[in-house]
Structure 1
């Protein structure tokens, strides 16, 4: 079973050969404008455009916590928009991260990665603006992805 590989670098320039999926967590209110999504949008317009269309059409599609949309941005690179955050602010109900939704989304992501024969690349999902803790997210990644033989690389941004 592969372990999670940790590297310093930019998750929008994933390392290695073959098909790669860049996974990240989105909110459930249609907001796209802070955090890792800005780096994605600087590289490719498609993930943001797809996310906004998906959110606008939410009454007739699967948009919501735990849902995933994979968007192809290059011949061998996909971006997985995973809805794992309720709202965008920490408030009376706590931080926006929803671990159950991230867990569900990772299960969908795993199926897609196996189908594509892809490795998965990500920042520390759910732990930035969503307010989550890596000690709660990392076991979900191990259970859903690496336990199925999917190579996962986590990028810590180097300064």
Structure 2
């Protein structure tokens, strides 16, 4: 069983050799424009375009809570758009949009794909930013769905600007 590695740095520039999957949590409202997705879009246009198309075609595309979309952005690098947030929160009111059961389902599917590709997984602290989740609830899901399957996981904490 692997352990989660923690690094200070940019999750869009993952460390190490081999195939890498950069995982992040998206909302089920089809919105893309705040949080970690901005860093992804600055680096590659493909994940945003694929996410928007996936949402637009949701009646037939399998889009929904717990779903995962893998988008290849370089020969050995993929981005995993994981739908783990119900809607978005406007302002500071309302319930947190995080859905832990959806993150869990998405991580399970991501684990299958990582094993198939022989990939390591890289991410920010998923579900803990705009989604409003807590790392104390997300970290055990990562341990169960990824590291328990010997998938190397690196979590990146962004450098303060």
Q: What is the TM-score of this pair, normalised by structure 2?
A: 0.97
Provide Cα deviations, 1:87-146, integer angstroms capped at 9, x if missing partner.
Answer: 010654x20000000000000000000000000000000000000000000000000000
SS at structure 2 position matched to 1:96: coil
Q: What is the TM-score of this pair, normalised by structure 1?
A: 0.98
Deviation at 1:60, TM superposition (A): 1.2
Deviation at 1:61, TM superposition (A): 1.7
Deviation at 1:74, TM superposition (A): 0.3
- Over the aligned positions, Cα root-mean-square deviation in angstroms equals 0.8
Provide Cα deviations, 1:4-33, integer angstroms capped at 9, x if missing partner.
Answer: 000000000000000000000000000000
Aligned to 1:124: 125
Aligned to 1:23: 23
Unaligned runs of 5+ in 1: none
Aligned to 1:62: 62
4+ runs deviating over 3 angstroms: none
What CA distance in whole angstroms lies between the structure 2 residues aligned with 1:6 and 1:156? 7
SS at structure 1 position matched to 2:54: helix
What CA distance in whole angstroms lies between the structure 1 residues aligned with 2:18 and 2:93? 42
Number of residues of Structure 1 aligned to a counterpart in Structure 2: 158
